Structure 1
């Protein structure tokens, strides 16, 4: 069920106003962020919606140069994120061992959320992913499984996070791979569980088309 969009998080508003974070590090949406023609509460996303990639991300020359590349769903807009050295603001782009380097905005495709890419240096994918989730506040129902991302071994996690602003829990998920150029975590959140579930086809597209960059 859709919920009214509530207030913007003050800290993130201050960051945006100060221009301390470059790129388009996402904030809690405001009413102006709601895409025009957004789905009605009864609408659901078909798994076939993101079968064919409308673009790619990760290779040199793309919006974000990453240790991996993967396919993008139609109308999802990527942008690189650069975290400054200012300690007060750098914490926004750090989670456990991971640093945010890229985010893909779903609003142009009709959803409120982001597919975010984090890097964690070289090391086991599961170790990085567990550290990433443990650094998130108010998590529950955490479940890990071994899987594949393209042809690469991967670890995937599903969990819920209690959102104090919205006063409800919402589903989130992520997968991690240890690529030759470093470990990568691809995370899908969303405004709420409904938005999250509608965006899963784009997440699955990224996972199924992922390959290591050499």
Structure 2
């Protein structure tokens, strides 16, 4: 099993710096993730106004969907994500990362990352994505809708091996004619994650299939 992306740094910067070490592609197999209660949600916050969109023609990332990007958040395509040499950084389970939207210009530490996978039920693809993560707990799924069709959303916690602390993460998946798309929100820690939820909700509520 390959180590997934668990960093607050951009994927592109990691690739450019040559951070793929010889032993990081082989890790111990993970136990099956147990379903648990949904992590505590952040206080309700109005979604920010969309300054622009990403995913459509002429935008920073070519994707099967488009969605609104929060003000000052900066999207950038991940270069050469299919390169097998960087699979430990660019792949997680069935999905390959295509685009990352950096929150740093807006004053946060984290990214919205967009992943794509082959055709299949959104729930199945999202479950494979989460199971490929490391040290997950409190995994909870729910079904919803979007402008691109039905979506499956997941919230879960990830335990950091260095700090021995857990942080919240979430993602949603939608099936399109061009394959399944996953939009994931991490963050440096739970506080940063919760502060960025409005941008995540903006992406989900403005999602459109292309």
Q: Does the pair score TM above 0.5?
A: yes
Structure 1 residue matching 2:198: 3-state secondary structure: helix
* 2:202 alignment partner, one of 178, 201, 205: 205
Please identify, of 88-97 and 166-175, the stretch whose mean Cα deviation from structure 2 is larger. Answer: 88-97
Give the secondary structure class of the aligned counterpart of 2:169: strand
Change in 2 beyond 3 A, CA 1:99/1:151: closer
SS in 2 for 1:164: coil
Pair 45,105 (structure 1): closer, same or farther in 2 beyond 3 Å: farther
Task: Tell whether the 8 Å contact from 2:81 to 2:96 is kept in structure 1 after alignment.
Answer: no
TM-score by length of 2: 0.79
- In 2, the alpha carbon distance for the partners of 1:125 and 1:91 equals 23
Q: Does 1:158 align with 2:149?
A: no
Provide, for residues 121-163 of structure 1, a one-character-per-residue CA deviation record: whole Å limited to 9, x for no partner: 2111011000000000100000000011235100000000001
More helix by share: 1
User: How far apart are residue 46 of structure 1 and its match?
Assistant: 7.3
Structure having greater relative contact order (Cα 8 Å, sep ≥ 6): 2
Task: Tell me the equivalent position of 1:91.
Answer: 88
Q: Shift of residue 13 of structure 1?
A: 7.9
Equivalent pairs, count: 180
Distance 1:92 1:13 in 2: 11
Cα 1:13–1:100 change in 2 (3 A) is closer
> Which structure 2 residue ranges, 5 or more long, are not aligned?
1-7, 21-41
* TM superposition outliers: structure 1 runs of 4+ over 4 Å: none
Instruction: Check if 1:132 corresponds to 2:132.
Output: no
Find the counterpart in structure 1 of residue 34 from structure 2: none
Once residues 94 and 19 of structure 2 are traced to their aligned partners in structure 1, the CA distance between those partners, rounded to angstroms, is 24
Partner Cα separation in structure 2 for residue 13 and residue 183 of structure 1: 26
